[in-house]
Amino acid sequence: MSEGKKKLVALAGKVKEKVSQQGDALLQKRGLDLVEALASDLTGEAAMPGLRLYRDAASKFRLQRATRNAEITVEWHRDIAALSITCEKHGEPKVLTRYVYDATKDHFRRMEGAGEAYDDLAAALAEYLFPETK
């Protein structure tokens, strides 16, 4: 096999690892799937009473509770391939945490290292929207 053909085959292998059959980046799909899974978990059978979920886009939703003056936003950012969770108690500074995909553990972890999206979202819900659970 010629050197050119070897390079072409190697490139095809790399592309198959990162791109789906439809031509979308697999990481983009994983990010959107995570947003969908989180929204589903928050509105499904185990939904918390009084929690309102507003879908702004396929890549973004906001969480609010009528008795709390706070909001949590979950959003997938395609341009930086990261998920963000933004928490805000009105009148206080926003708290932004970003998550990147960790292929070795097959989950989204904090950009800084320790922590993952599900754990942090549960902690944020307790802190910002359901403080009576602490």
pLDDT confidence of residue 94:
95
pLDDT one-digit tens code per residue, 83-108: 999 999 988 999 999 999 888 888 89
pLDDT one-digit tens code per residue, 65-77: 998 999 999 999 9
Question: Could you list the residue range(s) of the whole structural domain that residue 117 is in?
Answer: 3-133
The total domain count for the chain is: 1
- For the domain that residue 67 is a member of, what is the CATH number? 3.30.920
Name the pLDDT band for 17 (thresholds 50, 70, 90).
low
* Pick from 77, 80, 82, 68: nearest CA to 129: 68
pTM of the model: 0.80
